[in-house]
Amino acid sequence: MTSGSSGSSGLSGPSGPQLRAAAETFDLLSSPTRLHLVWLLARHEYDVGTLAESTGANVAAVSQHLAKLRLAGLVTARREGRRQIYAVEDPHVLTLVDQIFQHIAPDGSLAPDPPTPRHPRRP
């Protein structure tokens, strides 16, 4: 059965375009530097120089990462004088970033599960 179709089991899922877009988003965030940038920008607005200093990457590399993130709609930019100021404003992206870092402990292992699930138990 293909994605997004329904069969006798009554299962349906995301459409093909949704699956491709989601996979592209996760692929974009699979770079540690880009994920770090999104994490930083989910908390505050920054210019490229500050982001480069915070991530330990050079300004040119950070600029390239930001261009990809902007093109994908994950990061916004606004001009402030001669500088571009970057931010993450999409509440879905903010939730995604917060959730992954709640799921991963600082040592890279899985964080303990919360005491109560946030979703109903599946059959």
pLDDT, tens digit (0-9, with 9 covering 90-100), for 19-61: 999 999 999 999 999 999 999 999 999 999 999 999 999 999 9
Say if residue 14's pLDDT is above 60: yes
| pTM of the shown model | 0.81
pLDDT, tens digit (0-9, with 9 covering 90-100), for 63-115: 999 999 999 999 999 999 999 999 999 999 999 999 999 999 999 999 987 77
**What does the DSSP assignment read for the chain?**
--TT---TT------HHHHHHHHHHHHHTTSHHHHHHHHHHTT--B-HHHHHHHHT--HHHHHHHHHHHHHTTS-EEEEETTEEEEE---HHHHHHHHHHHHHB-TTSSBPPPPSS-SSPPP-
CATH architecture of 32-103: Orthogonal Bundle (1.10)
